Amino acid sequence: MPSPAQPGRPRDPEIDARVLAVAREHLGTRGYEAMSLAAVAEEAGTTRQAVYRRWPTKADLATAAIAAMSRAAERTPTDDPYADLVRELRAYAAGVGRPGGVSLVGTMLVDATDPDLVTQYRERIVLPRRAQLREILERARDAGLIAADADVETVLPMLTGAWYATALAGEAPGADWPDRAAALAWRALGGTPR
């Protein structure tokens, strides 16, 4: 997320969009370590100073570029938590399945990774996704669609972790993965999937 606007000339939102798009492309093709703010600025047709004003560190830019892809605000809750769960898992699979998605997550697990990057990635990407999934499952529990004592906290990492485990094993999770994962989680939580 860009830092607050500084006094002076108003910000050009087109620069923000161009820089974030180029940063995503660099992350996907080169990886985080090889991404350079100077190269991103040049390819986006702006200056390094303009980039640094908006995103003071490489971690700021990388996590902002990924977070900007989120369409979570467009996925408003419905009266069908099961359908909402499938929809959220489809969005998740599309996000991590994009080029470079798994490699970026792998970067988060390396001990030498910039701690600022890990913190920002967790705060901007992982925790909001987990909160979205938790809210869906809690609505299902409140509606009596899953067990009253359903262990939502244990299922949350299983939902997203299953995709990574499959991909890391060299297998394609498949287009039906969101449906299968939702059904499995729903059963594990004491519900009857459709």
Give residue limits of the domains in the chain: 13-67, 72-188
pLDDT in tens, 153-180: 999 999 988 888 888 788 888 899 999 9
CATH homologous superfamily of 13-67 equals Homeodomain-like (1.10.10.60)
Q: For residue 157, what pLDDT is reported?
A: 92
Take residue 42 and report the two structure tokens written for it: 């040049």
- pLDDT tens digits along 63-112: 888 888 777 777 889 999 999 999 999 988 887 776 656 556 666 666 66
Tell if the pTM clears 0.85, that is, is over it.
no
Q: Output the pLDDT for position 116.
A: 85
| pLDDT averaged over every residue in the chain | 86
Whether the pLDDT of residue 26 is over 80: the answer is: yes
* pLDDT surpasses 60 at 35: yes
> Looking only at Cα atoms, what is the longest distance across the chain?
58
The identity of residue 70, as a single letter, is S
Confidence class of residue 139 from pLDDT cuts 50, 70 and 90?
Answer: very high
pLDDT of amino acid 33: 83
Sequence letter at residue 72? A
* The pLDDT of residue 6: 53
**Which CATH number describes the domain made up of 72-188?**
1.10.357.10
